[in-house]
Structure 1
Amino acid sequence: MAVAAYAALLSLKHDFDNIQHPVRRHRLHVDTDRIQSWQEKVEFLLEFLEVHSQSKSQEIEDLARQIAVVAVEADDVIDRHVVDQLCEGSQDESHDLAALSSFCQDIDKIIEKIDGITQDLMMIKEKWGDNVQEKNSAVSVPVSSRTLPSGGNDTMVGFEEGLLQIMDVLTSDESNLQILPIVGMGGIGKTTLARNVFNNPYIINRFDILTWITISQEYSMKEILLGLLNDGSIKERAEIEELEALLYQRLFGRKYLIVMDDIWSIKVWDDLKKFFPDNRNGSRIMMTTRLTNVAVSLGTLEPYSMDFLDYDKSWNLLCEKVFGEKSCPYPELEGIGKDIAKGCKGLPLALVVIGGLLANSNMQREYWVSIARNVNSFANSQDNEHCLKILLLSYNNLSIHLKLCFLYMRAFPEDHEINVSKLIKSWIAQGFIKPVRGKSLDEVAKKYLKDLVDRNMILIHKWTRRGKMKTCSIHDLLRDLCLKEFERENLFSVSKVEHIELSGKFKNYVCCLCSHPYPKERIHLQAVLVGSRSAPSSPLVCEACRVMHPNLIRLRWVKVINHVHGFSGENFPQHTRLRCLTIKASREGQGDWAEAKFVFPCTISLLWNLQILVLDLEYSYSHPLVLPFEIWEMPQLMRLSVGGFSLRDPHMHQLEITLENLSVLSTRTFKCSEEVIKRMPNLKKLRSSYSNGLVKDSHYSLCNLAQLNKLASLYLEHYSLSEGIAFPTSLEKLTLSRCSIPWEEMTIIGSSLPNLEVLELKHPTFQGAEWNLVEEEFLRLRVLSISGCKLVSWRVESNHFPKLERLFLEDMHDLKEIPSSIGDIATLVSIHLDTCGNSVLHSAMQMLNEQVDYGNEFELLINGEDIYSLILGEGKDMGWWNPDDDDH
């Protein structure tokens, strides 16, 4: 329940931050002293949960449950009073005083309850001191000598190459003490691999001392030292200082191999490293850990990272566990068995657990079929908790803020590849990200994601061209764990249903919990939720989610609204809980846009929690759409994606409100006035499109753009760079789509943007067909993409793009060739070509031939096909390909 309490307190903290913003104080009647006192108490409870969330104390668990209930109640109090005041506005003095008095009374009741909980917490701290967690956790440290790893039968299937690679490292000629970490998620086979290395006769004969010790999460330094010494004559009553001296003396001058299994923190190594002498005789220390950051910090060698088994190796391991051989002697079971192996998703732990069940099944086909239908349930069943316990170690090691974000992964379907940007947006919209001074919520959320990736709880599938995380996923067994822990933590008790009522019909129906498509014929189930009395009906919930979560009463975020007709302020959603609103609207039928009364309501500012606003709709430049002035009264906005709308200039008589949280803006005909620029000082990503008739208007000049000194990504469409532009030096990515670009402007871009890593030119209009680069241009550019360009001659030297890694060319029919000097760039790893002329293809093939001859890793993709792999797969010589041959 601690995670649920933490989530509720975080939501409350966000409310406090919103209330105390100057624009809110201007419109609300609140007692700032009471709010400040309230906020301090909430901060105390947050800190307590962060420190003691892993406590096994029933007292702490009971208090966490009370915290969750009170925090939800407090959230409702704030929302009710704020909404009433925002909707009614300031009236006569007596009415305003009555509203303030009512608010204060409700606050005092909540504070009284929080004070009671705080007193109970202080009594616990006084009773146990600062060791609440330790007082309720048994310290268990399995340690061992050389003999333990030889016990048991750890089948080594699929990691033979890794075994040889690690043995080569351990027995290399390097005389200095070296530390080799093995890293990977729980159950991926780290210990098995290390054990097979440790027990290999070749390794045994190369070292004087071999010792294996398992550290685990909770450890005793004395127990570790006794395990490393492995000397029965040493009494357990010996002092730690004596044990430390004995260990150093035993290892000094001898060639040793120490295996430290299951390392969870850097601290244990910091405590031990001074007792391992560097004898300069080839001694080695091998460690296993689930944490990438620990592996990188501890190792003197690059960590050996373990990956999932492929399909064939998974099948071989399953057969070895079931039949004792790498094949299936029962033809009638082979097809089902291969489906089971595939369902384990390459995780050795799952294969071993399932293999044990199948081995004892008397080879009954019906039983095999039942397992194939739900591999995860059998692997994590209560009757066979080995798998679940191993994965729980990783979950229990997470800080409470990471647990909260990890548990949200249950919202995505099994085997779903998740867009990282969508995940980050979801965490923020749910209120799961704790504000950090000096950092945006987006930055903090990305740090959370990186921490979960480093702990091998979340897997990265794809990377962007800039080397940033693009899509991710979670292993099925971890998702199953996620579902169990989500229910155990009772997180639904702190999520509130907020229905968005819009006129017009919905085109698409999706479950508001799992996002699965919802059959139109089943929409009568839409009122299954309780606690949404403010709306005539509740969000759609699929039958599976209804059964799984019968006690659901609150959900904080409705993600997508598909709206057909225009709307006005009368039917705009007035539900102020909303943190993220996405409206996909289109106009049915044909007709003049002037007839479409599409009005964006000024009541948008009443959505005082709204952080993300996305309007995805058809628009016409001949009939522009404009956002209301009130958009400038929403300081909590972080992302504003309104491509069909333009921003009004801020009212000069308005409060000078700064949208300090706004980091992403997508709009039409962005006016780069000083007044606008100073109101969005932390903008990091800007996208704007223009019409050809507007770019000559001085009001739309981008000469002030350089003042956005935190801007990292810029996308411009239909803009003429000759009309004046000043790029900020902070730019890392620049995309110019259908822009008019003088060649001298390209020189300015290449020489004045020292941080530029990605340049995309989409259907540009160049003044001339020849591009001649000069010295000191594009010194940090890693990705260059050009498409639909009339470029004919391109003159490049290898020192012009010294860090170029990837080149993308599309629809380049006029280009004579790719300059040969491009192939001489040492960092180049791939060229991607799509619908280019034969001369371009021919020059790319020549580069591929040269790279292969040099033994370099190089990727050439033509129309999506990996040419090198295609050639090798057909067993052909590299010189076979002729781009002028119609057969190719």
Structure 2
Amino acid sequence: MAVAAYASLVSLSDVLDNVQHPSRRHRLHLDKEQIGGLQQKVQFLQDFLELHSQRISPEMEDLGRQLAVVADEADDIIDFHVVNQLCERSQDKTHHMAALSSFRQDIEKIIKRIDSITEKLMMVKEERVDIQEQQPIVSGNMGSTTPSSSDKNTMVGFDERLLQVVDELTRDESDLRILPIVGMGGIGKTTLAQNVFDHPYIINRFDMRIWFTISQQYSVREILLKYLINGKKIKASAADELDLAKLGECFHKLLFGERYLIVLDDLWSIKAWEDFKMSFPNNSNGSRILVTTRLLDVARPLGFDNHYFTVNFLDKDKSWDLLSEKAFAQKSCPYPELEKIGRNIARCCRGLPLAIVVIGGLLAKSKDKQEYWEFVAKNVTSFVNSGDDDYCLKILSLSYNSLPIHLKPCFLYMRVFPEDDRIEASKLIKLWISEGFLKPVGGKSVKEAAKEYLKDLADRNLILIRKWTDTGKIKTCGVHDILRELCFRESEREHLIRIPKAQKIPFTVLNDGDVCFLCSHKQDRQNRIHLQEVLIGLQSTTVASPSVCEACNNMYQNLNKFRWVKVFKSVHDESDVTSPLHTKLRYLKVKGYNRIEKNQKHIVPGTISLLWNLQILDLGHSKTVSLSEVWEMPKLRRLSINSSLPDLLEGQDSTILENLSTLSSSRGFSCSEEIVKRIPNLKKLYVVWPVSLDKLALFNKLESFSLKYNFCRLEDIDFPTSLKKLSLSRCLFPWEKMTIIGSSLPNLEVLKLNNAFKGREWNPVEGEFLRLKVLSIKNHDLEQWGAEDIHFPNLHGLYLEEMFELKEIPLSIGDIYTLHSIHFQICGEFAMNSALEIVKDQKEKGNESLQVYVNGKQVDEERVFSDSDLSFVDSDEEQS
């Protein structure tokens, strides 16, 4: 329960911060000193769990369980008092004093319970320190001179990678070099290393070959001692007389002058390498060290020039070959009736050799072949995780167990996504923020922290990167099905996800009792679960009764602890219905109306400010009125509305939304000094039909700006020099004005144009767009593009779509050193013939890295375009 306790404490810390910084209009009656003291205690416990999470005893687990409960109850109590005070209209001092007294008493009870748990934690910690000091360190893995000969080490599908590693290890460079092999658990790193270790060329090349398995818990002394004793270099009777320094010296002498290969298998930290390296002499004779690790942060610094080898998932054919090898002891299937089923089973293993080996072992033991195989095919993940005493999960759980505790809630949250899902990184980050999992450190925002968390999980090979942007950021990601099962098991054990903090509501189904109020999915009337209604706010309207599906009810532990606030009203000619939302929401997205309801208006009454923890409010295309209460929501980080920013109400003169970093305003946005003063930290701005943009440069932290439909002249838009991304759509500026953008935005990295300029010719100017990495041009009547490589010296990706009039792509575009891809989508024949010429030209110049795509299909110099190439083909290629 340590993970749940930590997640609850981080979330509570955010709530405590919120309660100390309410809107300036709604003052809360609370004891700030008391709240500050509670926050310090919560912070202490967070730090304690971060420090001791790898050494949690059963006693500490039980205390962690109690701590999670207390933190959640504290959240409930604070929410109860804050919402009640926000609803209260009375100005009576006696009433205020009573509210303050009640709040103070409830917080004091929480503090006493937290103090009691903290005291017990300290006692348990001291007892464990005493025990550990009395016990000698014993390594569960002492190391060995040769790799395991287990039959689980059959190598299929890595022949090319094997030759690459052997070639790298046997190069002529004389200095001692380290070659890391990195990949997720169970992907075949050790198997590859074993086959390298036993390769005939390696055996002939090196005088000595030594294999050490390190793992998470290791003892350098025991590993070296075991090798030296087994090799009869020292006597076992003398072992007690040799300390680590003497053992290291003995091992160093043994290797001195020899050309050696040492494999350090399953390395988990740079510290482990530091502990060993003094024992390995640099003989300047081509000695090598081969390292296997799951962690990119270990592989990068160890590899020469940050060079390392990755082990990727098997493709479907190689997966089937490996499954056949394990099930039939041969690469071909002797039973034709099983091949189709078997290939489906192999596909469901998602290319992970460990899963294929486990399932293959089960299939090898089966008697009723076809019937059993069909049964397995329907439950592949379950069989993988139950086979060989949970062998597969035990291997993969090592990666989870080694995580620092602040990453564990974020990883376990991956269970909420479907199998093999492609998850948008931006969506995942929003959901992590909404759950309160993120702890901003060092002045960074929670969004910046989330990006670092995501990168860290990817570097640890727990989250898969499905797609990168051209600017080197994670676009989409996912999690392997086997790891997703691990997320399920651990989150169930931890009781991690207790209440939903994010909600998506389609206006079209607000009154539909057959729709789950949390996930918006249709539910069987017999299986739907009505929630206990604890409603506050407006009393004069009909309330849609909230109900949830069975899946959501099973996922969230405390649904009936919600307090519902009546917020959105769908206004019809014949009815007036209010939609309830729960007060702890941090992320609310309201999906748009359908065509039948396009003339409806949806009222957002003042009670929306009762969602006092709300950080993301996305109203999309829904027509809303009466939205002035957003100025009373100081924690808002992202706001998306189908209107201009609302006017300030009486008493809101000093309102500043300091946390608002993203604003999407569909119509009527006016960039005035007053607006800039209200939202000074804006980083992303999306506007449609703006009124004025002459003060845009006052947003001196703005990094991304998107403009659609515009009456302004380009020269009347004062762009801030901080912009890194600019998107223009249907603005119809003349091409000769493009120099305004190129000369005024020195930091621009992404430029996306959709029918943004008009004219037949664009001649870029040298010295502009020096940092541009992505250029996307769509739906223009451009015929002549006088671009050369000097105009975009740092370009990574070029995207051209619906460019029917373009005569050619300048051949020198392919000479841009940094360019790695050009994408054509529904373009004219002339433009796509240019693609072929660029490919030919670059291959003649020895550039094999440039990739050219036409309608999502990669082309090469031999390719001849067919009619189908000139028609529309869906492509998942997207720009940054």
TM-score normalised by length of structure 1 = 0.89
Matched residue of 1:523: which SS? coil
1:626–1:647 CA contact under 8 A, matched in 2: no
Inter-CA distance 126–867: structure 2 relative to 1 (3 Å threshold): closer
- Letter paired with 2:525: I
Structure 1 position 859 matched with structure 2 position 861: no
Residue aligning to 1:49: 49
What is the aligned counterpart of 2:266 among 262, 269, 284? 262
Inter-CA distance 724–474: structure 2 relative to 1 (3 Å threshold): same
Bigger mean CA offset, 8-17 vs 828-837: 828-837
Deviations 1:262-282 (A, max 9, x none): 111111112222332221110
Bigger mean CA offset, 318-327 vs 655-664: 655-664
1:721–1:742 CA contact under 8 A, matched in 2: no
2:805–2:828 CA contact under 8 A, matched in 1: yes
Structure 1 position 843 matched with structure 2 position 829: no
Q: Equivalent residues in 2 for 1:454-853 (5 A)?
A: 454-493=459-498, 505-506=510-511, 511=516, 515=519, 517-519=521-523, 522-527=524-529, 533-534=534-535, 540-543=547-550, 553=559, 565=571, 571=578, 573=580, 575-586=582-593, 589=596, 593=599, 596-617=600-621, 628-642=627-641, 644-650=642-648, 654=652, 656-667=654-665, 668-690=667-689, 694=691, 700=692, 702-719=693-710, 720-722=712-714, 724-766=716-758, 768-853=759-844
Shift in Å, 1:497: 11
Shift in Å, 1:564: 6.2
Shift in Å, 1:105: 0.9
Shift in Å, 1:841: 2.6
Residue aligning to 1:239: 243
Matched residue of 1:609: which SS? coil
Residue aligning to 2:194: 195
Whole-Å Cα distance in 2 between the matches of residues 886 and 121 of structure 1?
A: 68
Residue aligning to 2:431: 426
2:24–2:655 CA contact under 8 A, matched in 1: no
Matched residue of 2:669: which SS? coil
Matched residue of 1:195: which SS? helix
Whole-Å Cα distance in 1 between the matches of residues 809 and 503 of structure 2?
A: 56
Shift in Å, 1:25: 9.0
2:499–2:558 CA contact under 8 A, matched in 1: no
Whole-Å Cα distance in 1 between the matches of residues 681 and 344 of structure 2?
A: 51
- Letter paired with 2:679: M
Inter-CA distance 486–146: structure 2 relative to 1 (3 Å threshold): same
Structure 1 position 452 matched with structure 2 position 444: no
2:215–2:266 CA contact under 8 A, matched in 1: yes
Deviations 1:568-620 (A, max 9, x none): 998364632111111124266478x5xx554332332221110110112255x
1:141–1:214 CA contact under 8 A, matched in 2: no
Residue aligning to 1:622: none
Whole-Å Cα distance in 2 between the matches of residues 260 and 27 of structure 1?
A: 61
Residue aligning to 1:21: 21
- Letter paired with 1:113: R
Structure 1 alignment gaps of length 5 or more: 620-624, 695-699, 872-876
Whole-Å Cα distance in 1 between the matches of residues 25 and 127 of structure 2?
A: 42
Residue aligning to 2:539: none
Inter-CA distance 814–887: structure 2 relative to 1 (3 Å threshold): closer
Structure 1 position 339 matched with structure 2 position 337: no
Whole-Å Cα distance in 1 between the matches of residues 669 and 369 of structure 2?
A: 68
- Letter paired with 1:614: D
Residue aligning to 1:79: 79
Inter-CA distance 281–53: structure 2 relative to 1 (3 Å threshold): same
Shift in Å, 1:723: 5.6
Shift in Å, 1:479: 0.8
Inter-CA distance 816–194: structure 2 relative to 1 (3 Å threshold): same
Matched residue of 1:41: which SS? helix
1:564–1:588 CA contact under 8 A, matched in 2: no
Residue aligning to 2:878: none
Matched residue of 1:218: which SS? coil
2:755–2:779 CA contact under 8 A, matched in 1: yes
Whole-Å Cα distance in 1 between the matches of residues 24 and 303 of structure 2?
A: 51
Structure 1 position 328 matched with structure 2 position 333: yes
Q: Percent identity?
A: 54
* Matched residues, number: 854
Shift in Å, 1:796: 1.9
Shift in Å, 1:437: 4.2
Matched residue of 1:54: which SS? helix
Deviations 1:349-382 (A, max 9, x none): 0111111111111353222122111111111117
- Letter paired with 1:19: V
2:504–2:520 CA contact under 8 A, matched in 1: no
Whole-Å Cα distance in 2 between the matches of residues 684 and 423 of structure 1?
A: 19
Matched residue of 2:619: which SS? strand
1:497–1:556 CA contact under 8 A, matched in 2: no
Q: Equivalent residues in 2 for 1:52-451 (5 A)?
A: 52-129=52-129, 139-150=138-149, 152=151, 154-227=153-226, 229=228, 231-232=231-232, 233-234=234-235, 235-237=238-240, 238-300=242-304, 302-362=307-367, 364-381=369-386, 384-451=389-456
Inter-CA distance 309–22: structure 2 relative to 1 (3 Å threshold): same
2:178–2:288 CA contact under 8 A, matched in 1: yes
Matched residue of 2:205: which SS? coil
Deviations 1:673-705 (A, max 9, x none): 1222133233221100116xx4xxxxx1x2322
2:569–2:578 CA contact under 8 A, matched in 1: no
- Letter paired with 2:18: N
Whole-Å Cα distance in 1 between the matches of residues 248 and 678 of structure 2?
A: 61
TM-score normalised by length of structure 2 = 0.90
1:494–1:554 CA contact under 8 A, matched in 2: no
Matched residue of 1:53: which SS? helix
Shift in Å, 1:817: 2.1
- Letter paired with 2:659: N
Inter-CA distance 543–137: structure 2 relative to 1 (3 Å threshold): farther
2:760–2:782 CA contact under 8 A, matched in 1: yes
Whole-Å Cα distance in 2 between the matches of residues 252 and 94 of structure 1?
A: 85
Shift in Å, 1:635: 1.6
Whole-Å Cα distance in 2 between the matches of residues 882 and 321 of structure 1?
A: 44
1:213–1:227 CA contact under 8 A, matched in 2: no
1:420–1:470 CA contact under 8 A, matched in 2: yes
Whole-Å Cα distance in 1 between the matches of residues 721 and 223 of structure 2?
A: 53
Shift in Å, 1:640: 0.6
Whole-Å Cα distance in 2 between the matches of residues 842 and 500 of structure 1?
A: 47
Shift in Å, 1:776: 0.4
Shift in Å, 1:652: 8.7
Structure 1 position 39 matched with structure 2 position 31: no
1:15–1:75 CA contact under 8 A, matched in 2: yes
Deviations 1:301-321 (A, max 9, x none): 511101100011011111111
Whole-Å Cα distance in 1 between the matches of residues 418 and 588 of structure 2?
A: 22
1:56–1:136 CA contact under 8 A, matched in 2: no
Inter-CA distance 504–188: structure 2 relative to 1 (3 Å threshold): closer
Shift in Å, 1:394: 0.8
1:578–1:607 CA contact under 8 A, matched in 2: yes
Inter-CA distance 828–730: structure 2 relative to 1 (3 Å threshold): same
Whole-Å Cα distance in 2 between the matches of residues 500 and 786 of structure 1?
A: 35
Inter-CA distance 498–108: structure 2 relative to 1 (3 Å threshold): farther
Shift in Å, 1:93: 0.4
